[in-house]
Structure formats: structure tokens, C-alpha cells
Structure 1
Amino acid sequence: MRQAFAAILLSIASPLKSVVAALLAVAIGLAATGPSAANSKYAAIVIDANTGKTLFSSSADLRRYPASLTKMMTLYMVFEAMAAGKITKKTSIPVSRNAAAEPPTKLGVKAGNSITVETAIYSLVTKSANDAATALAEYLGGSEKEFARMMTAKARKLGMTGTVFRNAHGLPDTAQFSTARDLATLGIALKEHYPQYYNYFSTRSFTYGRKRMANHNRLLGRVKGVDGIKTGYTRASGFNLVSSVSQGDRRIVAVVMGGTSGGSRDKHMAELIRQYMPKASTKGKGAPLVASAGGSPISALAKVFLPKNDAPTPEARPEEEVVAAAEDEVAAVEEEVAAVEEDVAPTPKPKSVFVETLESAPVEQAYAQPSPDRFGDDVDPVETASVAQSGWAIQVASSPSKSEAEVVLAKTTKQAPAVLAHASGYTVTFDKGGVTYHRARFGGFNSKAAAWKACTALKRKKIDCYAVEN
């Protein structure tokens, strides 16, 4: 009897053992591949930074909220300005009331004070300071809204077709999104295009005043080969992380988005690195994987990626004063995204003297121009008139303030006296959106070729301009 009963138990236990083993295998498989599909915020990708090959991908092309990963593009724009000589690491960045009011995390600089560019960089890569990000955006773009448009245009030219920026810090905005693939592209571009500045991302900590600020990226120094890049978190996004890793000749960039906690995100990233680093190529890099940010920002913005099956669709409006063909190209995009505008808080009108220039000229050309508040008061007065001259002219800025436009004229005359020896500075007004602007121009050129030649000479002196017919 007992032997018969034992035989029955064994017959039951054997299939149960198989079921348990199968369940364990499934569990191990899920653990190896990351969060389950039930987490709608999750996305991840691993890219071989030598070849561009995708080694792992999960929801990598679906929209996700980038949170503070946004600051990667803010820093790309800063590095670009530094490399072009527009600013230096010692340039003083004023902190406006708007910037000082940003919620934590932040440096806590009082409105009216300033920080250096390098302090701002350190605060972004370690503490992810929102006030510093906004201050940089206002300085480089005239306003955060204009800077976000510049960021979006830059993203298009880097091949980031699924990204739209609405602010420089990554605080919640339903109309700001990216993808894991785009952020991997940006991570690669930062290292390829600006290797002279990339080491900022490996900063473990920095001290501001009496405060020591540790890097939020806990994989630095803990996972072999990790040399950056950035963490991010909001409740809407979950816990995000972009990592650049080098081990010998192998290099990868990995992205994890939507982690349920910082610890689980870091653990998943470490597992992706452990699993896919050995699969990366050992061959040295050839040509850069990410093209330099050339081309037209207008046509790039018109081609914004608009899938309709995951996150809300934001506005991706290109420059307003463009040729009719470009306007027609983006009309369909603007119709689709117009409904989102009412959900997004309005942004104050830019105060930069380059408002009109940003809207009518190429984005980089406009942002590269100097801001009048950097000039100080030591400029010579220039006689100007508010009427356009005949022939051709070159425009260097436009401002809602006539006095600010005249400051630019004076500064430009001082910087390039030989180029403008036979030209005369003047301002001409125009109305837009109920606001009167003052265009700062130099007239006296009898042909388009002469105006273009003068502009070319000014650009060699880091003064941007464009030729117009009066």
C-alpha cells in the first residue's frame, strides 16, 4: 500500500517539477531582457559606437519623456558655442528671475547674480541643475522658448527624427519627447563632435560655494568603462539613463528609459553592458557615425517624426518667416499638433535683440550673434536713421528696443571699421504681432555682390549677418 502511494506521489511530482523549471526559465529570461511589456514607460537600446550597429533594442523608436536627459542637448549647444568661440568657460551667465524660480534640483543662485559657463556645465552634468539650464538657454537663445526651437532644429540635423524640445531642463512638458534611439545618437554625437569637452561628463563631484555636489550617475566608477553620460527622472518619464562605455577597443552607448526606480534602472543598465559589450566590434572607428549638424534647419523641422500611437504630439513649428515652399511642407505637421498648444503653458515673448533674426535667418546664424547685454556701455555712439536707404544693405540684428539695435550697430562698427568704412548704420522699423521691431542695418552697398562680400568679411570676425535689398 505504502509503495503504491509513493508511486502515485512520484508520478504527480515529476510533471510539477517540469512546470516549475519552465516557470523559472521564463523568469530568468525576463530578468535578462529587462522590464516587461507591462511597463509602458520602458524603452532601451544598445548601439555599437564603432559601427553604429544596434546590439539590443526594445521600444527604442517609441516616444518617451526624456526628463533631464534633455540637458544633453543643452550641453551640446553650449559645447558648440564654445568650439565656435562665441563663449568661453569663463563667460558670465546672468541668472534671471525666471531661471532662479525653477524647481529643484538646482544651484539656488539668486536672481540678478551670475555664474560662469563652466560652473553651469558642472552643475548640469552632476546635480542636473534646472536653474543653470534655463540661464544658459536664455543667454544663448534670448529666451528658453527660442533656445528650445534651436535645440529641436539641431536634433533634426543630427538625425534625431523623433525628438521635440520645449525647454532646456527636461521638467515636465507634455509636448516634449524623444526616443531611446535618438538619445543614443545624441550621446554618440557629444563624444564624436566635442571630445575636447566630453570629459565633463565623467566628473564625479564638484563644489559650489560650500556645497559639494555628487554626480547622479552612480555607475561612474562602479561599472568598468563607464565614462558618462546623464541621468534623468520625472514621474511621467520614470528613471532614465544614457551610458557611454569603453573597454579596450570596444565602445557602446546604451539607453534605458522608464525604470521603476534608480536602483532597478542602474541594475538593468549594468546587465545590458555586461551582456552586449562582448558583442561590440573591436575594429577602430572610421568616419563619424553622426553627421555634423549641417543643412537647413527649416527643412529639417518640417520633417518632424509624428507617429500617433504612443505619446502626445507636440508643436514642432519651424521659423515663421520662411519661403512659401517650406511653409507648405510643414502645414500638415502644424495641423496635427495645434490641439496640443492649449495644454502647454505659454512662454513669455523673447527679450533678445535677435528675436526677428532668429525667426528669419538660419537658426545657428541667429544664435551665434552676440547679445547686446554682453557689450557693456563702452561703445561709441552711431548716428542712425529710422528710414531704409536705397540699394543693398546688411542686417546684423533686430530688436524691440531701438537703443539696443543701435548698440549692436556701434559695436559692429568698432569691430570691423575697415569693412564698414563706406557703409552707414541705420535702423528701420517693422511691426509683427502687434510689436514694433527695429532692424539694425548697414547701407550704402550698390549691389548684392558688394553686400555679400561685406557679410563674408564680417563673418570672418565672428559677426553674423545677411544681405537684404532695401
Structure 2
Amino acid sequence: MTYFRVQSPKAVLFASLFGLFCFFLSSPTKAEIGAHILIDAKSGDVLYERQSTRKWYPASLTKIMTAYVTLKAVRDERITMTSPVVQSKNSISEPPSKMGFKVGTQLTVDAALKIIMIKSANDVAVALGEAVSGSEAAFIAEMNREAKRLGMRNTRFVNPHGLPDNAQVSTARDMALLARAFWYDFPEARQIYKYPGIKFGRKPLRSANRFFLQRVPGANGMKTGYICNSGYNVAATVTRRGRTLIAVVLGARSGLERTALTRELMDKGFKKRGSRTNVASLTGSSGNPPADGYCRRNKKPGVEAMMARFDMQPKAKRGFLSALAPTDDPGSVLRPGTAAVSKKSPASAMDSVTLPNGKTDWNAVLDRTIGPERLEYRPITVTTGVPRGAAVVARLPADDVPLPTTKPRLAQAAVVADQAAQVQAEEVNPQAAAQPAYGSLFRKGKGFAVPVPTPSPR
């Protein structure tokens, strides 16, 4: 004989809620942000991280290493900031983003660095590598040697720009190591990537990092990147009250999500002190890069999703069921999950970012998810050409690439030009007088964050 036990309504409700809770915990998530890490720049302490040792495609974060190798060559006196960079037939063949200069166009190392760090031009990145090392292949070899020296164990470079190539991989942890070395080894470079755009002739070219720079308190910038297989990447720094934090985010679904998560990590990080884990001690690999077509599987989040996840305005208390939804709290180390997106965001939040005609007020969305605009848009002017007296290169055949001289010296005309530029900068910004002139700290033998091996006598 079979007996049936009648359960009370309370027991049934409890069982249903418990089942719903287990469903939220166990159900796979469709969208993801691949990996992120937040470290203290001075100590290297890991404040937050998620899958930071998982291999990922760096995209244009690659150009941080391109700039690092270039500035190291300047410090080693192999080139100067006014040495010529010439567009070769090889360099102009790169796909966009690019400047599109004609073969033989010359610009200085300084201008090339500004272009690759702000505009992220792929053709100029190749030309810069050719100017530093004599060929693109030789420059890539230098990039990999530096990566090995810095302890970037899961990183391999096969090009100097980050365009799609599944052989070019890194991790959030490795990119944090590089960003930290770039921050401390070349403080002069901070004067490059702090700008929200460049102006070339009458053409303004905006940086993909401009909202972060203009809206996040203490933002210094650094570098963004995007290819379909990587999603939206960024390495960014923020300094507040003398303390600098470095964040690396890989695989965001949109530029806005990338910036909003970076802002959120920074805000939480400045409230935290110390950690038992150092970025250098993170070892191993926690997974392979995403399969091809990553961006097509992870559609950009809509306005409601962004407001539900990143709105900085005080929210109404959430109900019991909404409290059970999974979150992507940066404090949950190595725990997969995504933002809990309700079917309908609070009416007050959506009303505040909707115009009378029903369209989205994107300025209001930016104010609520990243922060109000604090700095106006001021691009830096970039020109082609090299100063009089620099190692000017004669007109070259299409396939020729100039090699830097062994130890070129700045011509007197270039020195005068640098001094005049500094005086002009001090007139515009009186605080500039208290700062060292750009490039004045490039001295051979100056210490590096990671010791540089002594060259072989051979």
C-alpha cells in the first residue's frame, strides 16, 4: 500500500523557493566578461581578480609592449624621441585602425608613440617597430624578450599591434605586470596616454578611452583594445590621494561595459588595503582563449542591463527573489557569473535616462554608470615631419626602411625646439613648470621595475 504525505502550503512555498535558488546558482550564464584583475601599483597586491591567468587575446593592449620596447630603446640611446619613423610599404599594408600615410612619410618617435597609444594606429605601430629594430620581425623578438624578463609567463607576441592572430595570447595577470612596469619604468609616458584624443591637421581622432579619462576621478588612462575574438579590453590606471591602482579588463561586451566595470573596480579597490596575494605570485593557466566569434556570442548589453548592473545612484531595496539572482561582484575571486539583469529596471532609473521623445539620453547613462564629466575634451596636436637637425632620411624606395644610427645625438635645433615647447606648456599650464621636461628622465642605466640582465661581453 502506498501512502501519500500531504505537505503544508508553507512547505511547498519553501521547496519552490529553494529550487529557484539552486537554479540561479547552477544555471549556465550566456554572457560573460572574460577576465579582470585589479592591483596596487606600488606593492603589486591583488585586490580583486577573476580568471586572471586565463589565456586571452590582448588585441591593442599589445601596443603597451610596443611603446615599452620603444622607450627602452630611447633609454639605451639606440634612438631618440626625435628619431625618424618612416612609413614603409610593409607598414601601410596593415588593416585599420590606421593613419594611412603614404610610403616615405616621416614622423618622430614621439609623434608615433602618441598615435599608437591614443589613436591605436596599426600601420604606425609597425613603422615604429621597424625604426627601432630594423625590421618588424626583429622588433617582435624584442617584445617577447621583454615579456619573458617581466615574468609574463603566458604571453606570446607575433605582431606589434594586436590585430587578429590566435597565436598572440596573454592573460589579465601578465598585462597587469606589463602595465605596472610601464607605469614605473617610464613615468614620462604618462604624458602620452592621458590625452582623450589627437588632432592631426583639421581632423580630430578620439581615443576609445576618452570617457574613462574625462569622467573617472584620478584617471590616468593607458590603453584600450578590441577585436571580435577578444571583446573589449582595457588596461587602466587611477591615482587618488597618492595611491595608484591598475586594472586590466578582458572580454567586455561593449566599450561602455568595459569602462563601467573598470570604474567600479577602482572605486571598490580604493576602499581596500593590502592582500595576501601578489600579482607576481599568480602562476599557471586557468583556461584557454575563447573560441572564434566571441563578440557574436556575447551581444552588447542594453541600457536597462547597464543601468541594472552599474547605476551608481542609490537603489530601492531589492526583494527576496531579486536578491537570489547571481551577481558579478569583483570581490568573488575566480567565481564565474554575470550581472543580474531584471526584466525591468526601476522606473525611476530608466525615466532619468530617457528623453521626452522616448530615445535614450546617453549623456545621462554615462553620468549614472561612469560618472559626470569632470574634464573637457582636449586633444593633443600631432604632425608629421622631423625637426631640423635630426637624422633626416632621404627619399627612399618603397621597400626601404631607415635604420637608427648607433647613438644619435639631438641636434641643437631640436633642443631649442624642445625648450620652446616646454616654455609654451608652462604658459598654458603653470603647474608644468614644476614637472620635469618631457623626456628629461630618459637616462641610460636608470633602474627598471624588473632588473635588466647585463649584456653579454660578446
**TM superposition score category, shorter chain reference:** 0.5 to 0.7
- Residues 35-62 of structure 1: per-residue CA shift (max 9 Å, x gap): x865577011111112211111111111
Decide whether the 8 Å contact of 1:94 with 1:139 is kept in 2.
yes
Residue 238 of structure 1 contacts residue 259 of structure 1 at CA under 8 Å; is this kept in 2? yes
After superposition, where does 1:281-296 map in structure 2 within 5 Å?
A: none
Unaligned stretches of 5+ residues in structure 1: 1-7, 31-35, 283-288, 291-304, 313-373, 378-403, 416-458
Flag the structure with more relative contact order, 1 or 2, with Cα contacts below 8 A and sequence separation at least 6. 2
SS at match of 1:133: helix
- Gapped regions of structure 2 (runs ≥ 5): 1-6, 291-390, 395-400, 410-443, 446-454
- 1:40-439 → structure 2 map (5 Å cutoff): 42-217=34-209, 218-280=211-273, 310-311=288-289
1:248–1:41 Cα change, 3 Å: closer
- Counterpart-to-counterpart distance in 2, 1:254 and 1:309: 20
Number of residue pairs matched by the alignment: 298
In the TM superposition, residue 376 of structure 1 has moved relative to its aligned partner by 6.5
1:162-198 Cα offsets, whole Å, 9 max, x none, are 1111110000111111110010111111111111222
State how far apart, in whole Å, the 1-side matches of 2:34 and 2:132 are: 33
| CA deviation map 1:410-433 (0-9, x unaligned) | x98x99xxxxxxxxxxxxxxxxxx
Distance across 1 between alignment mates of 2:456 and 2:39: 40
In the TM superposition, what is the alpha-carbon distance from 1:249 to its structure 2 partner? 3.1
Deviation at residue 221 of structure 1 after TM alignment: 1.8
Q: What is the distance in 2 between the residues matched to 1:193 and 1:156?
A: 16
1:375 to partner: Cα distance: 8.5
- Find runs of 4+ consecutive structure 1 residues off by over 3 angstroms: 8-24, 36-41, 305-309, 374-377, 465-468
Matched to 1:185, the amino acid is L
Task: Tell me the distance in 1 between the aligned counterparts of 2:224 and 2:8.
Answer: 54
Closer, same or farther: CA 17–251 of 1 in aligned 2, 3 Å: farther
What TM-score, normalized by structure 1, do the two folds share? Answer: 0.55
The alpha-carbon deviation at position 149 of structure 1 amounts to 1.1
* CA distance in structure 1 between the partners assigned to 2:12 and 2:184 by the alignment: 59
Instruction: Give the direction of change, closer, same or farther, for the CA distance of 1:16–1:97 in structure 2 (3 Å limit).
Output: same
Structure 1 residues 167 and 18 mapped into 2: Cα distance closer, same or farther (>3 Å)? same
CA contact (8 A) 1:67 1:170 kept: yes
Q: Quick check: 1:250–1:281 contact (8 Å CA) kept in 2?
A: no
How far has the Cα of 1:467 moved from its partner?
Answer: 7.0
Q: 1:331-355 deviations in whole A, cap 9, x for unaligned?
A: xxxxxxxxxxxxxxxxxxxxxxxxx
Please report how far the alpha carbon of residue 211 of structure 1 lies from its aligned counterpart in structure 2 after TM superposition.
Answer: 1.4
Structure 1 residue 112, shift from structure 2 partner: 1.6
Return the offset for 1:18. 5.5
- What one-letter code is carried by the residue in structure 1 that aligns with 2:93? A
State which drifts further: 269-278 or 128-137. 269-278
**1:270–1:112 distance in 2 versus 1, CA, 3 Å:** same
Cα pair distance change 1:108/1:82, threshold 3 Å: same
Question: In the aligned structure 1, how far is the partner of 2:288 from the partner of 2:29?
Answer: 14
Higher strand fraction: Structure 1 or Structure 2? 1
RMSD: 4.0
